[in-house]
Chain A
Amino acid sequence: MYKILKAEELADKIFLMDVEAPRVARHCEPGQFVIVKMDEKGERIPLTICDYDREKGTITIVFQIVGASTEKMADLKEGDYFRDFTGPLGCASEFVHEDIETLKNKKMLFVAGGVGAAPVYPQVKWLHEHGIDADVIVGSKTKDLLILEDEMKAVAGNLYVCTDDGSYGHSGMVTSMVEKLVKEEGKKYDVCVAIGPMIMMKFTCLMTKELGIPTIVSMNPIMVDGTGMCGACRLHVGDEIKFACVDGPEFDGHLVNFDEAMKRQMMYKTQEGRAMLKLQEGNTHHGGCGNCGGDN
């Protein structure tokens, strides 16, 4: 059993929790994820690691209500327990293994969409702790749904906030911000890391391809075990089939087949919708991972 030490609602339907998981906290690196299972009858849900404290032995997760399971998870309070909490899973971000001096000469841009700010945060924080200040674009549908702004500001070089409806920061999508920075402000980036809903990563990749910036994305397909034993999370990267849970979750965004990945993410749409309706009347939702902002 894994104790919840802190539980708070960051924004409407977006929750943050600190969970006691010493083995995960001791070994995790930016870019990795965990799989949580709430209770006996629950499903296994992948969530990216938002932060970690090796000394306290805690992991911070952030999730958004997107289906029946995350809806139930949101009811957990401080002092409650997750039955299962497995990780760290997946590969660490590539830069973790790079030479720091080489890294210092690289200009990095992070693009976070919605709850994607959570997995972007530990990467930017890690770089900051190693003396590297990366630029960060955070996109949100509206001002109310923006999360981790202060935390991000504390570790980023330049932070650019965009909202779809213009209620805060720049008005428009993250892609237009990328374009503006490069084309209008003359910024040069050696690498871009984009994390968020698949549709947002897809369009960011189309933009960075045009701008000639190599781009890494963190894929969030349906997963079951998260250890490479089933292939539920498989996707096409170039001509190859990769399992996101063990080969990724980060891949070269210009090689990922997003259209196929988005279709696969919808596989259980009706079942999830039914499960959600069982819990509460209202909107049905898309399939997926529990941490993206919604693709529709």
Chain B
Amino acid sequence: MERRSFLKTAGLGAMAGSAAMAAPALAKGAPATAGKPMSEPEIAKLKRIKVDLVAPPFVHKHDQVVDATPRIVEFRMVIEEKKMVIDSKGTTLQAMTFNGSMPGPTLVVNAGDYVELTLVNPATNAMPHNVDFHGATGALGGAKLTDVNPGQQVTLRFKADRAGTFVYHCAPPGMVPWHVVSGMSGTLMVLPRGGLKDPAGNPLRYDRAYTIGEFDLYIPKDENGKYKEYQTLAESYGDTVEVMRKLIPTHVVFNGKVGALTGDGALKAKVGETILLIHSQANRDTRPHLIGGHGDWVWETGKFDNPPERDLETWFVRGGSAAAALYTFKQPGVYAYLNHNLIEAFELGAAGHVVVEGKWNDDLMKQIKPAGPITA
């Protein structure tokens, strides 16, 4: 009721949403409403697509531009509780994950599509779980309709009617922060049906997408200052909450581990290639930066119907959101992609590498004289 009167005040009818969807330029002033409500028989006639998810930093195959007819996109995620090693010293986390990875896999649909997720909590797990999609409307993001005990599964459908990168995370009542900081978050990317656009309405395309989940971890220490290791997930709870309450993470990592995106895990690209970097942080602020590069076009709040900013050195991801940045590489070499609080990056772990192949461009940068003795 409130929403309808708001639309009226704004001078928009029920069709405003679908018209905005088809328009080439960015929607201005109107909240996203991708199409009018569909009835169950109408929804039942929609084409179904089944997506096999892939582990981060990769993103499953998807189309950046699709036609106007919405689809139902089916996903399946399996919750896995497991002890994970999170640094080179063998420190362990009693982790909770979607599909065994931190972050969970990135789900991609187009605005107006329906997401249909089956969430499986195998009997081998100990805890109840659920999922809250920031891209969904109602029932605490779906959390209220997806409570699953070990040995159960549940299926939720929601309309992805707003474009952008959105966090999803577990949110069991009474123990939300613990499940989130233990690894249960990921990104839903809802692309505009016509693909990404710059502020002038020109198309922006990427050659590959990478997804990075940043996690602030709170590992308890014993009386000797050593990180504690727990036999079971539940036994880590009390101590972990004590550390969480101090608001100082012991580790800040990309994709589950210090150095996960370095060496063999480094992201790869070529000169001339455009990559989309999706960055999620479900709990705590971060500030991504590509050393030697930039954010060519950045949606730091992650919502594609807003015009992106260009030429950013460092962007900002609010805790509880996901951002997207486009960059076309112009120089080869090893880049660092990090949280530019450099203590969090280099001391606590929030840094990865992008290895870029191609030809060096002397016009953009040249070493005129190598380092040598001071002469004048």
Partners in one complex: no
